[in-house]
Amino acid sequence: MATSFLRITKAAARKIFAQGDKTFYLCPCKLRPGFPFNSALLTSGREWLERADMYAPPRSSDLWKGSREATGWDLLYNNWAYYNNLCNEVGYYTHYYIEV
């Protein structure tokens, strides 16, 4: 049985991310999750929220964005965008998906 995916908004992806235990996909806009040659990332917020705690005050860090969720989201997105090399071939924007 084939898995189907539902595209969600960035705001919905941030809500799922903040919950920490649910998963979602990040995918370049010209590709789709579940097909050959995709570069979709299945992730949950738990790991990135734990990483965000390393940058919390009183440590002085340029990576802290004011809240644990904002810092974790920026860490996730920036790492994903860097390693997936968003470009003309795969697209410059990110789409977010969940499994249905």
Tokens 């705690």: give the residue: 53
Query: pLDDT tens for residues 25-40?
Result: 999 998 888 877 777 8
Under-50 pLDDT residues of the chain = none
Q: Please give the pLDDT value at position 39.
A: 77
Q: What are the domain boundaries of the chain?
A: 5-99
Q: CA–CA separation, 27 vs 38, rounded Å?
A: 8
Tokens encoding 69? 């969720």
Q: Please give the pLDDT value at position 61.
A: 79
